[in-house]
């Protein structure tokens, strides 16, 4: 045997040994099951990235679909996605870091940090804010609405509480905004600056935040809401504005990569940023959901599955992006980080399907199908509006579960108006909807929007008036605008 043949043989033996080791450990098979599932889904519009670590071994860390369709940039482990409400997990960890630094206590009341509070807000505790049991409403404005710090908190603290603090659970974005402000007041730093110094830098995370990272523009994913509504990365909007609205800060909107999320997991697991005692506080269930078997910890939900398996998880979404973190921290030690930049009902909670694949070697997931909005939009682009009943029949045949009620047609029509595309089709959908549900004021409001987009102003006025008569007061401003122009 000559030297060349010997080297080839040695190489083949090495490949066979690695392959055999992977098969024996189940890693190769598990990778294939996950990869094949997502590759198949990418043919139907799935776009995003997944990373899975099991007992310290990376099973998969891969992107699918496009981060930017214009530049033909593919999603990958360094693609930047909006992580939505998983920002809350960062906020809660920062609060516990301040507890470790003896800067505050979990039972401290708001009156410790804010002066001249209304009486009903004074005794709300940090623990209640962390567990969504404070009684605050969910939100008081839109994510990118400009508002000063004083204006935001003055407005928030004069809102009526939904219930007595500590009485029950009710998800509150603004509660986490309050926590973000407390971080600033106590630390003397900006919210993002504190996270960067005490959480991100020690973890090695250089691509997580709002404004501080040196973002690589080529890695910023564009969004493709439901596969059809395109938008730019929120990072670009942050940079343009130069600040983050308190409607969003500390409760959502942080951007990150899959690789950084793996560093986050490792930092938590190895107690690099929090002690084991603090981590236990972070992931202890405190507040039960009104329905179901979930409980809320601090920025994590907690659930015990079959065979007494503990799962901690959290999701985030702004409509266009969706993000999930799932962790089985005990014997299984499985961590999943998932992101999509083309969110829809078909893929928003895809990480939970991946978890089932990992936990059950016999589990066969339901294939990822094209989402209903993309399906309808594709049809409408190539067919005239008088084919609407054919479209309805196709929807009944392929998406009967989503067609019940008026919501789907109304949503499709509104998406078309947002895109300034196929306004005639939007109007056709709205007209059919009000025929089927004539007592729904919201649908008459949408019909008014459809008429307005098609420059049928008299019909728009009548529709808005009908909506108001049915109790949909939001149409009043639109009506007044038409009547005064």
pLDDT in tens, 97-144: 999 999 999 999 999 999 999 999 999 999 999 999 999 999 999 999
Burial of 397 (0-12, 13-18, 19+ CB in 10 A): exposed
Domain closes at, from 330, 359, 388? 359
Domain closes at, from 325, 359, 393? 359
Same domain, 332 and 383: no
Same domain, 285 and 193: yes
b/e map of 414-425 (b: 16 or more CB within 10 Å)? bbbbeeeebbeb
CATH code, domain with 408:
1.25.40.10
The single residue listed with the structure tokens 């870091």 is 97
Domain presence at residue 342: yes
- Whether 3 shows a pLDDT value over 80: the answer reads no
Q: What average pLDDT does range 178-182 have in this prediction?
A: 98
Domain presence at residue 2: no
In 3D space, the residue among 317, 348, 296 whose CA is nearest the CA of residue 175 turns out to be: 296
CA 358 to chain CA centroid, Å, is 22
- Whether 88 shows a pLDDT value over 60: the answer reads yes
Per-residue model confidence as pLDDT tens digits over 257-281: 999 999 999 999 999 999 999 999 9
pLDDT at position 291 is 79
Report the side by side order of strands in the sheet with 287-288: 57-64, 48-54, 334-340, 322-328, 310-317, 301-304, 295-296, 287-288
pLDDT at position 6 is 46
Same domain, 391 and 331: no
pLDDT at position 15 is 41
- Do residues 296 and 285 lie in contact, with contact meaning Cβ atoms separated by under 8 Å? yes
For residues 327 and 333, give the distance between their C-alpha atoms in angstroms, rounded to a whole number.
7
Total domains in the fold of the chain: 2
Sign of CA dihedral 264, 269, 272, 274: positive
Same domain, 183 and 263: yes
Domain presence at residue 179: yes
For residues 371 and 58, give the distance between their C-alpha atoms in angstroms, rounded to a whole number.
30
Q: Which domain holds residue 143?
A: 82-359
Structure tokens at 54: 């099991």
Domain presence at residue 16: no
- E strand or H helix that includes residue 312: strand 310-317
Residue 281 main-chain phi, psi, to 5 deg: -65, -40
Same domain, 121 and 255: yes
Domain presence at residue 39: no
Domain presence at residue 31: no
CATH code, domain with 256:
3.40.710.10
For residues 89 and 83, give the distance between their C-alpha atoms in angstroms, rounded to a whole number.
10
Same domain, 232 and 269: yes
For all residues of the chain together, what is the average pLDDT? Answer: 93
Domain closes at, from 332, 359, 386? 359
For residues 225 and 222, give the distance between their C-alpha atoms in angstroms, rounded to a whole number.
10
Same domain, 243 and 269: yes
Same domain, 216 and 106: yes
Structure tokens at 442: 């919201």
Same domain, 300 and 403: no
Sign of CA dihedral 144, 145, 151, 155: negative
pLDDT at position 331 is 81
For residues 175 and 65, give the distance between their C-alpha atoms in angstroms, rounded to a whole number.
35
Domain presence at residue 46: no
Structure tokens at 449: 């929007």
- E strand or H helix that includes residue 200: none
For residues 454 and 216, give the distance between their C-alpha atoms in angstroms, rounded to a whole number.
41
Q: What average pLDDT does range 365-374 have in this prediction?
A: 95
Same domain, 311 and 179: yes
Same domain, 352 and 453: no
Same domain, 198 and 272: yes
Domain presence at residue 36: no
Please report how the helices 441-453 and 407-419 are oriented relative to each other, as an axis angle in degrees rounded to 10: 30
């Amino acid at each position: 045997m000559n030297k060349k043949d010997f080297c080839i043989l040695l190489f083949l033996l090495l490949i066979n040994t690695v392959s055999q080791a992977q098969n024996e450990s189940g890693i190769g098979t598990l990778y294939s099951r996950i990869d094949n599932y997502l590759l198949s889904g990418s043919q139907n519009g799935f776009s995003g990235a997944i990373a899975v670590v099991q007992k310290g071994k990376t099973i998969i860390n891969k992107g699918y679909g496009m981060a930017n369709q214009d530049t033909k940039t593919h999603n990958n482990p360094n693609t930047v996605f909006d992580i939505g409400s998983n920002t809350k997990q960062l906020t809660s960890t920062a609060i516990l870091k301040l507890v470790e630094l003896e800067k505050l206590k979990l039972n401290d009341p708001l009156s410790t940090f804010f002066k001249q509070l209304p009486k009903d807000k004074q005794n709300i505790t940090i623990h209640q804010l962390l567990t969504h049991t404070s009684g605050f409403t969910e939100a008081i404005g839109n994510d990118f609405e400009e508002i000063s710090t004083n204006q935001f908190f003055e407005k928030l603290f004069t809102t009526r509480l939904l219930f007595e603090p500590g009485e029950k659970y009710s998800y509150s974005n603004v509660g986490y905004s309050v926590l973000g402000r407390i971080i600033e007041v106590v630390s003397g730093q900006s919210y993002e600056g504190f996270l960067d110094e005490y959480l991100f830098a020690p973890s090695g995370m250089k691509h997580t935040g709002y404004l501080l990272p040196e973002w690589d523009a080529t890695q910023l994913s564009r969004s493709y809401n439901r596969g059809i509504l395109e938008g730019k990365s929120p990072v670009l909007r942050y940079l343009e504005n130069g600040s983050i609205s308190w409607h969003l800060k500390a409760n959502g909107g942080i951007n990150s990569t899959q690789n950084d999320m793996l560093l986050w997991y490792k930092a938590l697991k190895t107690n690099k940023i929090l002690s084991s005692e603090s981590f236990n506080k972070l992931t202890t269930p405190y507040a039960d959901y009104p329905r179901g078997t979930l409980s809320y910890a601090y920025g994590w939900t907690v659930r015990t599955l079959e065979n007494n398996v503990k799962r901690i998880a959290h999701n985030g979404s702004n409509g266009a992006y969706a993000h999930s973190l799932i962790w089985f921290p005990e014997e299984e030690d499985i961590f999943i980080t998932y992101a999509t930049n083309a969110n829809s009902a078909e893929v928003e909670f895809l990480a939970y399907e991946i978890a089932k694949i990992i936990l059950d070697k016999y589990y066969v997931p339901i294939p990822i199908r094209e989402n209903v909005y993309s399906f309808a939009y594709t049809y409408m682009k190539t067919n005239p509006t008088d084919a609407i009943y054919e479209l309805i029949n196709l929807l009944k045949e392929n998406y009967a579960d989503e067609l019940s009620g008026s919501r789907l047609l109304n949503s499709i029509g509104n998406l078309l108006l947002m895109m300034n595309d196929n306004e005639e089709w939007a109007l056709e959908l709205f007209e059919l909807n009000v025929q089927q549900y004539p007592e729904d004021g919201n649908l008459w409001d949408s019909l008014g929007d459809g008429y307005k987009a098609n420059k049928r102003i008299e019909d728009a006025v009548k529709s808005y008036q009908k909506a108001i008569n049915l109790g949909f007061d939001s149409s009043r401003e639109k009506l007044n605008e038409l009547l005064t122009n």
